[in-house]
Structure 1
Amino acid sequence: MLHTFTTPTGPVVLREARREDVGQVVALLADDQLGRTREDTSDLTPYLAAFDAIEADPAHALYVLEDEAGTVVGTAQFSVLPGLSHRGASRAQLEAVRIAAGRRGGGLGSQFIAWTLAEARRRGCGSVQLTSNAQRTQAHRFYERLGFTASHVGMKLAL
Structure 2
Amino acid sequence: MNDLEIRPALAEDVPAIVAMLADDPLGALRESPDDPAPYLAAFARLADDPNQHLVVATRGGRVVGTLQLTIVPGLSRRGATRSIIEGVRIHSEERGSGLGSRLVEWAVEESHRLECVLVQLTSDVTRTDAHRFYERLGFEASHVGFKLAL
| TM range, smaller chain | over 0.9
Equivalent in the alignment of 2:70: 79
* TM-score, normalised with respect to structure 2: 0.97
Q: Deviations over 1:90-121 (max 9, x none)?
A: 00111101111221111111111111101000
Q: How far off is 1:83 after superposition?
A: 1.0
Q: How does 1:1-150 map to 2 (within 5 A)?
A: 6=1, 11-68=3-60, 70-150=61-141
Deviation at 1:12, TM superposition (A): 1.5
Tell me which amino acid in the other structure corresponds to 1:77.
Q
Q: Counterpart of 2:116 in structure 1: which amino acid?
A: C
Letter in 1 for 2:15: G
The 2-side partners of 1:17 and 1:30 are apart by 17
User: Offset at 1:82?
Assistant: 0.7
Q: Identity across aligned pairs (percent)? A: 53
| Equivalent AA in structure 1 for residue 38 of structure 2 | P
The CA distance in 2 between the partners of 1:61 and 1:111, in whole Å, is 16
Greater mean deviation of Cα atoms: 70-79 or 142-151: 70-79
Query: What is the identity, as a one-letter code, of the residue corresponding to 1:66?
Result: T
Give the Cα–Cα distance (whole angstroms) in 1 for the partners of residues 52 and 102 of structure 2.
20
- Whole-angstrom distance in 2 between the partners of 1:111 and 1:72: 14
Return structure 1 stretches of 4+ with deviation > 4 angstroms. none
- In the aligned structure 2, how far is the partner of 1:22 from the partner of 1:74? 12
Amino acid at match of 2:64: V
Q: Which runs of 5+ in 1 are unaligned?
A: 1-5
Counterpart residue number, 1:3: none
- Classify the secondary structure of the residue corresponding to 1:155: coil
Supply the distance in 1 between the matched residues of 2:97 and 2:66 (Cα, whole angstroms): 16
The answer to which of 109-118 and 27-36 deviates more is 109-118
- CA-to-partner distance for each residue in 1:33-81, whole Å, 9 max, x for gaps? 000000001101111111000000111111001110x221100011100
**Whole-Å separation in 1 of the counterparts to 2:136 and 2:88:** 16
- Unaligned runs of 5+ residues in structure 2 are none
